[in-house]
Amino acid sequence: MVDILSTTEEISDETLVTRVLEGKTEAFGMLVRRYEQKLLRYGRRFLSGREDIEDIVQEVFLRAYENLRSFDKSRRFSPWIYRIAHNAFVNEMRRATRHPTTVFDADVLIPHRTQESPEDDHDRAEMREFLRKGLDKLDQKYREPLILYYFEELSYASISDVLHIPVSTVGVRINRGRTALRKILSTNTPPL
Report pLDDT digits (tens) over 115-150: 445 555 666 666 666 666 777 788 888 888 988 888
Asked if residue 53 has pLDDT above 80, the reply is yes
> How far does Cα 111 stand from its chain's mean position?
21
- DSSP conformation letters of 103-165: S--HHHHS----SPPP--HHHHHHHHHHHHHHGGGS-HHHHHHHIIIIIS---HHHHHHHHTS
Angle at CA of residue 93, ends 110 and 85, nearest 5°: 80
CA dist 192 and 131 (Å) reads: 21
Angle at CA of residue 159, ends 117 and 118, nearest 5°: 15
CA dist 10 and 99 (Å) reads: 44
Q: Name the residue among 58, 78, 76, 74 with its Cα closest to residue 66.
A: 58
Asked if residue 114 has pLDDT above 50, the reply is no
More confident call, 155 vs 105:
155
| The CATH number of the domain covering residues in 106-188 | 1.10.10.10
Domains 4-97 and 106-188 are alike in CATH topology: no
CA dist 40 and 1 (Å) reads: 34
Torsion sign across C-alpha atoms 184, 133, 140, 117: positive
Half-sphere exposure of 93 (CA within 13 A, CB side): 19
Please tell me the least confidently modeled range out of 29-38, 84-93, 134-143, 163-172. 134-143
What fold, for 4-97?
Rna Polymerase Sigma Factor; Chain: A (1.10.1740)
The answer to whether 4 touches 11, Cβ cutoff 8 Å, is yes
pLDDT for 70-106, tens place per residue?
999 889 999 999 999 999 988 888 787 654 444 334 3
The helix or strand, by DSSP H or E, that contains position 192, with its residue range, turns out to be none
Provide the residue ranges of all domains of the chain, joining segments of one domain with +: 4-97, 106-188
